[in-house]
Structure 1
């Protein structure tokens, strides 16, 4: 069994600031640190640290930021045989984090814009793999891989973040669609659906909505349930959603039910909020086990 992640890898520059800057304002920070990031890499690390065998397909540049972007992937033992090194600069994110753990993020995609679905060969797509995708690489490539993976029997999970204009036929080919509340609102408006349950019905796929400190909710057919968040004191919420997605797929890959996988993902995401950074904040399986108790 395998989790195969197609997505972005970034170097994150994290600025600790007393308050998030307003438009036109300059805020003097307390320091800056560099961390590995990018939604694809974050999710791959989260799944690997939770015990899954993980493969990652994406792109980095030939610059110094490439080492930063891939450090956590290498440390977690992720298979990087499908990682391409290109002439574009490695993707980079500037992240401001306030004392409450809230953040503002600006991203320069760089090499991520050159990621191609063809980096994942057909032989890697089969019923024993969970394919996890996000929207920080070109939407056309995401759609192409969704269709190829589905046609070959893989279980396909998309985190529609950031929300992008993915064709409806690609969304309807998914097994699981994961969105936060903002991303859900974009889809509700696009499909003119009045609520999450009817949105899931309109797409014909399982819909999972993350709700921050209120946990997460699941909608598919007549099945609807929620899982709670675990109370923690947040330090940095930057990678929490990515942690949720990666651990969710790791759980599904090893045969957990959706409810079990969501509860485990919620616990892991809560732990990720207690640490600075994104990929580097992902908990190990034993840490998540301890919180689940």
Structure 2
């Protein structure tokens, strides 16, 4: 069984500030060298560090940022045969992080907009396909169609929140959203932004991640809540990506959904204890220790 990530790879420029800027305001802070990031890349690294066999499919530029992103994936043991170089700038993000670990992020997708579902290798019934919304939504829709035809399991992280073809959404096994994305989706559907309400409206499994409040899940088999793990937050950037990647890895390793969500909660918490996105993705030993499994 393989976890295949179809998604984004983005170089992060991280600015550390005492507080986040208000509209029209300039603040002084500190910044370091670019770090590997992007929702797809972060999730791929998180899944690989938790023991999954991971393939990454996407696009980067033929530039120094593209080299950084490719090497970060390779260093984590991710198969990058589906990572294509393009004559376009690599994706770039400006990440502002305040003293409490909260963040604001602006993204220039760059080469990620050239990612195509046709790049995906053969998908099988033992494949888990995990996607996000930093590549063209219509390509995600095509990828979902291919996956369902092959009998693969499909997980979609609707982040950042954007419209998706409703017919394609019907092929998703589990839709993953945070609270703000859930509220946005609920508005579009005329429903409350809660897991059970979104599940009822869409007819697919829905997981809502709620930070320090844990996660809520609603599927055809029923609804449940999984509490969060308490940690000291340094930087919340990438916490949701750790959650998604480790959930995919846990399902890949055969865990039931509720246990997989608990493991994902542990991974998301651990990602908050270190600065950066991809560098903060935890390994299986750290996750086991937080869960009391070591």
TM-score by length of 1: 0.97
Q: Name 1:203's counterpart in structure 2.
A: 202
8 A Cα contact 2:13 2:31, kept in partner: no
2:125 to 124, 127, 132: 127
Once the two structures are TM-superposed, the CA of residue 61 in structure 1 deviates from its matched residue by 0.4
8 A Cα contact 2:58 2:82, kept in partner: yes
Alpha-carbon distance in structure 1 between the residues aligned to 2:210 and 2:19: 23
1:141 to 139, 142, 157: 139
Alpha-carbon distance in structure 2 between the residues aligned to 1:86 and 1:33: 23
8 A Cα contact 2:195 2:216, kept in partner: no
Select between 175-184 and 24-33 the one with higher mean Cα deviation. 24-33
SS, match of residue 77 in structure 2: coil
Alpha-carbon distance in structure 2 between the residues aligned to 1:30 and 1:81: 36
Q: How many residues align?
A: 291
Alpha-carbon distance in structure 1 between the residues aligned to 2:258 and 2:219: 12
2:8 matches 1:8: yes
Select between 196-205 and 19-28 the one with higher mean Cα deviation. 196-205
Task: Give ranges in structure 1 of 5+ residues lacking alignment.
Answer: none
Q: Name 2:169's counterpart in structure 1.
A: 171
Once the two structures are TM-superposed, the CA of residue 222 in structure 1 deviates from its matched residue by 5.6
Q: Name 1:226's counterpart in structure 2.
A: 225
Q: Give the direction of change, closer, same or farther, for the CA distance of 1:222–1:251 in structure 2 (3 Å limit).
A: closer
SS, match of residue 143 in structure 1: helix
Once the two structures are TM-superposed, the CA of residue 170 in structure 1 deviates from its matched residue by 1.2
8 A Cα contact 2:8 2:38, kept in partner: yes
Moved runs in structure 1, 4+ residues, more than 3 A? none
Q: Name 1:79's counterpart in structure 2.
A: 79
Alpha-carbon distance in structure 1 between the residues aligned to 2:43 and 2:277: 9
Task: Give ranges in structure 2 of 5+ residues lacking alignment.
Answer: none
Alpha-carbon distance in structure 1 between the residues aligned to 2:125 and 2:195: 28
8 A Cα contact 1:51 1:285, kept in partner: yes
Alpha-carbon distance in structure 1 between the residues aligned to 2:221 and 2:255: 20
Aligned-residue Cα RMSD (Å) equals: 1.0
Q: Deviations over 1:215-234 (max 9, x none)?
A: 10100136111111111111
Q: Name 1:66's counterpart in structure 2.
A: 66
2:214 matches 1:215: yes
Alpha-carbon distance in structure 2 between the residues aligned to 1:220 and 1:268: 22
Once the two structures are TM-superposed, the CA of residue 189 in structure 1 deviates from its matched residue by 1.4
